[in-house]
Chains A and B, each alone.
Chain A
Amino acid sequence: MKARNVFGLALLAIVTIEACENFEPAAPKGHELLDGPVDGLSESENIRFLRGDVAFNDEIFTADAGLGPLFVANSCGSCHPGDGKGHPFTTLTRFGQTDETGNQYHHMGGPQLQNRAIPGFTPEQLPQGVGYSKLTPPANTGLGFIDAVSDADILAWADPDDLNGDGISGVPNLVSMKEYLFARPNTVEANGKYVGRFGKKGAAYDLHQQTAQAYNEDIGITSTYEPFDTHSRLAIDPEVSDQTILDVVFYLKTLKAPVPRNTSQPDILAGKEVFTQIGCAKCHRPEMKTGTSSIAALSNKTFYPYTDLLLHDMGPALDDGYTEGTAKTFEWKTPALWGLGLSKYSQGGGYFLMHDGRARSIEEAILLHGGEGQISNDKYKELTENEKLELIRFLESL
């Protein structure tokens, strides 16, 4: 072989090594993804975020690791793919409570149905005639911002007697505090109850409760926080460490808020106008502020979740006959609309909206609004086709 060929091969090798990254798939743009940390985390916070990321997205539970024996899913990520909304495959069923006196079916496996089991075990069945709701897993994004909103702000948005006469009368869900939780600074207590803000009914006080309960009721994993096995209903050894749960809580708190897309397009700006005009923004509040947080990146920030974190009467069609906390069976917490347009990318390419995924499009979801949402529903029907399109494009841009 001639020297020039040797030189050519060496040159090819150097170019291949130097340029190899250019032949690899590019990262999706930040606004196309729901996962990723908030800006401004410190190095030590990045380390905690990554630990939580691994526990949430990569850790698969097997029977050896404590899965079940009764469960709904075998990992956090299988319910929240890409930190987005879930699919009916992992929809939860909760049952056994019709009013604020609490769940009457604990002795029969309530409040959550574990509809799967490891081999050799039999999953739970819904008790005959019990009221239940199916709940599609929500997206995780921006939860730390919502966690850092002050109770005072949420209570200020409530209007239980509809004093302003706009037909909207949001109320907070008042829930009991789990013994392992620490109250936020300046939290508001009312007769031993606290403002809940997570879950479809707003029945979880904070992300610590939400995470420990999800390990327990969704995956069948006990912890020092939730020590009762869902099969035997007896306290057993912890199957996940406190550290892992706290890492996951930190991860959920520090996931970024969804980034709106194409916000300056005229049709999207027009849709935003329609959104306000037909009254959607009365419950789906565009703007909120965080208070002070132990995570500097979340402190005193303005963000845009499109929710008021309050319960609203959504009418008989959405009344499943099941509730939690002080919520009525027909009341649902206003879901945040941020990230709505990206939902289908975590739900297999199509939408599964509303609390149980029954709406297969944004329009269908709008038309399912009853009760306090009926006025906006009626106004939507009166819009021109173009205005409807603009509204939906705006919602998809969130």
Chain B
Amino acid sequence: MKRYILFFVLIILIAFPAFAQIDSTLLRRTEKDTSRIQMNMDAVYNRPFLTMGKLPVSVGGYVEANWQHLGTDGISEGHQFQMRRLTLFVASSIYKRIKFLTEIEFEDGTKEINIEFASVDMEFHPLLNLRGGIVMNPIGAFNQNHDGPKWEFIDRPVSATQMLPATWSNVGFGLYGKLYRGRWVYAYEAYLTNGFDDQIIRNVENKTFLPASKENPDRFEESFNGVPLITAKTAIRNRNVGELGLSYMGGVYNKFQEDGLKLDQKRRVHVFAVDFNSTLPFTKTWLNGEIAWVNVDVPETYSQQFGERQVGGFIDLVQPVLRKPIFGFEKSVINFAFRTEYVDWNKGTFRETGTSIQDDFVSIVPGISWRPTSQTVIRLNYRYNWQTDILGNQPSKTAGFQVGFSSYF
């Protein structure tokens, strides 16, 4: 971790003197490509970048910070100010149809520093592109399209970030491509990468928890068990209707052998996800949702705290209600937003009683946002969560206000 911090400090030290010598009129924003229909899989490159003159390198990033005051069953930690994310992008056109992009993220200050994406893309044909390096596994849509300034909500969806492990990236290679037919685009992605480890059922969350594998510091260096994780997605988009994506991710998560000795049988994890988004034609209401199913082969003799099946998802509605200059920002938009989300962390029945295992999470988040420009959002959310334990006792309730901003820079 320290080497990343040193690397970052070095970049900053080099960049500041260099920047001071640059004529700022040479800096320009890269225009977004609006000539073609954009999909979730394009999100990684479809960002506002800053380029300098004719240098083939673009830089960018975004920042997120907020205040919140949440309480759980009458107990509150009071006023909290949080620097959730600082993310830096660097992209480069290496040669014709060969490009590179990296995304480095600092979460909660410097508590977590991650290379979320660092890949070289080579285009042989629009239907056949090779991507290699640290890639974001295309499971669901949020993992691909998660930049803070794009969302009207301060918290990321629980189903996408805690049941699914967004942001989830691994070292590997794969292919992707798109086919345009009139108003339709068909797309696919398929990757082989390093995968999960047994922390998904060996963690202090006390439940099957795919993001626990992100704690493995060696995962960018070696596979936990030598079996690649397969991730594949196909998506279809109509310019007038919206986008629908179907994705799968699966592989062996446990260390079943070491030094030629058998330790356990191969145990697999399977994840299926469906995502969609659309803008309703008359009201311009933005609808976005994702639902996913997780199946994990948990040893029968292990604790039932760790579920074999999970299901969860979220739906967001964003309704623009005012478009007019505010405080001199000519393209201001005020939105009303509403999110509802659900996760069943443990679908199944107790062996002892035959009754349902609970461990359910439900949340509603109404909010209002102001976008002075499309790249900056100021958000006010009120969230209310219900969480039951595995026995189905009365849920603990968490609620409160959050105010924050997120902006590309």
Contact assessment for B69 and A60 in the assembled complex, using a CB-CB cutoff below 8 Å? no
Is B72 located at the chain interface by the 8 A CB criterion? yes
B216: A residues at CB distance < 8 A:
none
CB proximity to B under 8 Å, residues A52-111: 59-60, 62-64, 71, 73-75, 78, 81-82, 87-89, 91
CB proximity to B under 8 Å, residues A327-356: 345-349
Contact assessment for B326 and A1 in the assembled complex, using a CB-CB cutoff below 8 Å? yes
Is A260 located at the chain interface by the 8 A CB criterion? no
Contact assessment for A62 and B204 in the assembled complex, using a CB-CB cutoff below 8 Å? yes
Contact assessment for A17 and B69 in the assembled complex, using a CB-CB cutoff below 8 Å? yes
Most A CB atoms within 10 A — which of B263, B299, B397?
A: B299
Contact assessment for A349 and B393 in the assembled complex, using a CB-CB cutoff below 8 Å? yes
Residue of B nearest to A62 (CB): B202
Is B327 located at the chain interface by the 8 A CB criterion? yes
Contact assessment for A348 and B326 in the assembled complex, using a CB-CB cutoff below 8 Å? no
Residue of B nearest to A58 (CB): B204
A89: B residues at CB distance < 8 A:
304, 350, 352-353, 390-391
Grouping DSSP codes into helix (H, G, I), strand (E, B) and loop, the B interface class, with mixed when no group exceeds half, is: loop
Complex-state Cα separation, A1 to B204, whole angstroms: 50
Contact assessment for A119 and B198 in the assembled complex, using a CB-CB cutoff below 8 Å? yes
Is B126 located at the chain interface by the 8 A CB criterion? no
Is A122 located at the chain interface by the 8 A CB criterion? yes
Is B283 located at the chain interface by the 8 A CB criterion? no
Residue of A nearest to B358 (CB): A348
Complex-state Cα separation, A89 to B305, whole angstroms: 10
Residue of A nearest to B351 (CB): A89
A73: B residues at CB distance < 8 A:
303
**Which of the 9-residue segments A25-33, A38-46, A143-151, A311-319 touches chain B?**
A25-33
Contact assessment for A348 and B392 in the assembled complex, using a CB-CB cutoff below 8 Å? yes
Contact assessment for B305 and A78 in the assembled complex, using a CB-CB cutoff below 8 Å? yes
Contact assessment for B301 and A21 in the assembled complex, using a CB-CB cutoff below 8 Å? no
Contact assessment for A120 and B391 in the assembled complex, using a CB-CB cutoff below 8 Å? no
Contact assessment for A16 and B350 in the assembled complex, using a CB-CB cutoff below 8 Å? no
Is A393 located at the chain interface by the 8 A CB criterion? no
A371: B residues at CB distance < 8 A:
none
Contact assessment for A348 and B301 in the assembled complex, using a CB-CB cutoff below 8 Å? no
Contact assessment for A78 and B401 in the assembled complex, using a CB-CB cutoff below 8 Å? no
Contact assessment for A348 and B303 in the assembled complex, using a CB-CB cutoff below 8 Å? no
Is B95 located at the chain interface by the 8 A CB criterion? no
Work out how many contacts link A and B, with CB atoms closer than 8 A: 110
Residue of B nearest to A346 (CB): B393
Cβ contacts B323-359/A at 8 Å (1 or 0 each) = 0001100000000000000000000001011010010
Contact assessment for A87 and B391 in the assembled complex, using a CB-CB cutoff below 8 Å? yes
B216 to chain A minimum Cβ distance, whole angstroms, is 12
Complex-state Cα separation, A91 to B206, whole angstroms: 18
Contact assessment for B301 and A122 in the assembled complex, using a CB-CB cutoff below 8 Å? yes
B254: A residues at CB distance < 8 A:
119
**Which of the 9-residue segments B73-81, B107-115, B172-180, B230-238 touches chain A?**
B73-81
Is B264 located at the chain interface by the 8 A CB criterion? yes
B220 to chain A minimum Cβ distance, whole angstroms, is 21
B242: A residues at CB distance < 8 A:
none
A306 to chain B minimum Cβ distance, whole angstroms, is 23
Is A20 located at the chain interface by the 8 A CB criterion? yes
Contact assessment for B70 and A60 in the assembled complex, using a CB-CB cutoff below 8 Å? no
Complex-state Cα separation, A120 to B263, whole angstroms: 6
Is A116 located at the chain interface by the 8 A CB criterion? yes
CB proximity to A under 8 Å, residues B281-306: 299, 301-305
B227 to chain A minimum Cβ distance, whole angstroms, is 16
CB proximity to B under 8 Å, residues A219-278: none
Complex-state Cα separation, A165 to B263, whole angstroms: 63
Is A23 located at the chain interface by the 8 A CB criterion? yes
Cβ contacts A287-307/B at 8 Å (1 or 0 each) = 000000000000000000000
Residue of B nearest to A26 (CB): B74
CB proximity to B under 8 Å, residues A1-24: 1, 13, 16-17, 20-21, 23-24
Contact assessment for B400 and A28 in the assembled complex, using a CB-CB cutoff below 8 Å? no
Complex-state Cα separation, A75 to B393, whole angstroms: 17
Is A47 located at the chain interface by the 8 A CB criterion? no
Residue in B392, B393, B401 whose beta carbon sits within 8 Å of that of A16 in the complex: B401
Known A-B contacts A23-B399, A25-B74; the reply to A74 vs B303 at CB < 8 A is yes
Known A-B contacts A23-B401, A25-B398; the reply to A81 vs B391 at CB < 8 A is yes
Is A152 located at the chain interface by the 8 A CB criterion? no
Is A212 located at the chain interface by the 8 A CB criterion? no
Complex-state Cα separation, A64 to B73, whole angstroms: 32
16 sample A-B contacts, Cβ–Cβ < 8 Å, listed by A number? A17-B69, A20-B69, A20-B400, A23-B382, A24-B399, A24-B400, A59-B204, A62-B202, A62-B203, A73-B303, A81-B391, A88-B353, A89-B350, A118-B302, A120-B264, A123-B301
| Chain B residues within 8 Å of A, Cβ to Cβ | 69-76, 79, 198, 201-206, 254, 263-264, 267, 299, 301-305, 326-327, 350, 352-353, 355, 358, 380, 382, 389-394, 397-401, 403
- Nearest first, the 4 A-B pairs at minimum CB distance are A27-B74, A24-B71, A348-B391, A25-B397
Further contacts, 13 of them, CB under 8 A, given A24-B74, A74-B305, A81-B393:
A16-B380, A16-B401, A20-B69, A24-B400, A27-B75, A63-B202, A78-B206, A89-B304, A89-B390, A115-B301, A348-B391, A348-B392, A348-B393
